[in-house]
């Protein structure tokens, strides 16, 4: 009987359970079937992206040595190719069906707009990461956020913004979320109604022009003018924000390093700074705080108490 060759296409159909009954039966009775099963078992146990072809090959060859002489040994080079093909197919299927997260990131001073599967829009501020699962979007409108973003959410099922410091839940509205690590959770409602919940379960229901923050253990609520300039217009604004987070925002916009060892970074700042003029931004933030600043080289600013 002529030997049958099992190429990558056949293996893909086998992994997808897409063989005919005749093909499946013929393959299960072949010498290669058990070898492929062992490769799959090895793939299931390994941590991507590591893959020890030599140990798998050795294991298969030892097993083959005790089989009857009717079972032919696979050629080493062919087995390497087969093992690699199975791993690539396995990783491909896993990536497509199990890890279907879409992730978007911005760099220093960069802003981008992300269109979600339902037509909702998210504008990302500098140094921000947004991710969501496109495959499950119809039943779970959840995005993960680290940084700052402005959301325009289409009406529909519940829409959730998940962060390490809190969550925001809406049905359809416009709002801004600012978060970073576990320290900052700030939500501003520009239209409609949102529910904001901090990681400590502090909850606020916000309507248009209302804001809520939970920053380093302190809760603050306030009203704001939705027509005032915002970071979307090139002007960041803050309410009772520890100066270290304002410095982080300056760094994200201008890609400068700030040396702040000689100031109290816990003191809080209320105000704005421009994204278009670094020297103006520094004066706006640090002069009212009585903090002096000195340029060192082209990309470093040293901060000191002015007194």
Look at residue 33 in the predicted model and tell me its pLDDT.
73
CATH of domain 100-233: 2.60.120.1440
Look at residue 94 in the predicted model and tell me its pLDDT.
45
pTM above 0.85, yes or no: no
- Domain ranges for the chain: 8-98, 100-233, 235-307
Give yes or no on whether 100-233 and 235-307 have one common fold.
no
Look at residue 22 in the predicted model and tell me its pLDDT.
79
Look at residue 306 in the predicted model and tell me its pLDDT.
78
Look at residue 5 in the predicted model and tell me its pLDDT.
59
Name the CATH architecture for the domain at 235-307. 3-Layer(bab) Sandwich (3.55)
pLDDT tens digits along 273-300: 999 999 999 999 999 999 999 999 999 9
- Written as one string, the DSSP assignment of the chain is -PPPP--HHHHHHHHTT---HHHHHHHHTSTHHHHHHHHHHHHHHS-TT---HHHHHHHHHHHHHTS-TTSPPPPHHHHHHHHHHHHHHHHHHIIIII--EEEEE--TT--EEEE-TTS-EEEE-TT-EEEEESTTTTT-EEEEEEEEEEEEPPSSS-EEEE-SSEEEEESS-EEEEEEETTTEEEEEEEESEEEEEETT--EEEEETTEEEEEETTEEEEEE--TTS--GGGTEEEEEEEEHHHHHHHHHHHH--EEEEEES-TTSEEEEEEESS-HHHHHHHHHTTTTEEEEEETTTEEEEEE--
pLDDT tens digits along 191-243: 999 999 999 999 999 999 999 999 988 999 999 999 999 999 999 999 999 99
- Where the chain has pLDDT below 50, the residues are 1-2, 44, 46-54, 56-57, 59-60, 63-64, 66-78, 87, 89-99
């Amino acid at each position: 009987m002529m030997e049958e060759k099992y190429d990558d296409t056949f293996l893909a159909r086998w992994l997808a359970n897409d063989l005919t009954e005749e093909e499946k039966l013929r393959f299960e009775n072949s010498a290669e079937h058990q070898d492929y099963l062992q490769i799959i078992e090895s793939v299931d146990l390994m941590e991507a992206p590591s893959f020890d072809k030599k140990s798998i090959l050795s294991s298969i060859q030892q097993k083959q040595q005790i089989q009857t002489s009717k079972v032919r040994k696979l050629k080493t080079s062919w087995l390497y190719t087969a093992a690699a093909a199975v791993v690539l197919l396995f990783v491909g299927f896993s990536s497509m069906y199990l890890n279907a997260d879409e992730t978007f990131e911005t760099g220093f001073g960069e802003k981008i707009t992300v269109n979600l599967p339902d037509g909702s829009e998210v504008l990302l501020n500098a140094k921000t990461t947004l991710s969501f699962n496109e495959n499950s979007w119809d039943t779970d409108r959840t995005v993960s956020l680290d940084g700052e973003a402005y959301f325009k959410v289409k009406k529909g099922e519940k829409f959730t913004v998940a962060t390490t410091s809190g969550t925001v839940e809406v049905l359809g509205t416009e709002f801004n979320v600012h978060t970073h690590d576990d320290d900052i959770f700030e939500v501003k409602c520009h239209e409609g109604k949102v529910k904001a919940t901090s990681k400590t379960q502090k909850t606020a229901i916000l309507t248009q022009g209302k804001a809520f923050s939970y920053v380093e253990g302190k809760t603050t609520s306030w009203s704001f003018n939705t027509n005032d300039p915002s970071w979307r217009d090139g002007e960041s604004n803050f309410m009772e924000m520890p100066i270290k987070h304002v410095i982080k925002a300056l760094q994200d916009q201008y890609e400068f390093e700030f040396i702040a060892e000689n100031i109290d970074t816990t003191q809080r700042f209320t105000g704005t700074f421009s994204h278009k003029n670094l020297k103006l931004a520094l004066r706006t933030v640090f002069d009212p705080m009585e903090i002096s600043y000195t340029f060192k080289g082209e990309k470093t600013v040293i901060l000191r108490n002015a007194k």
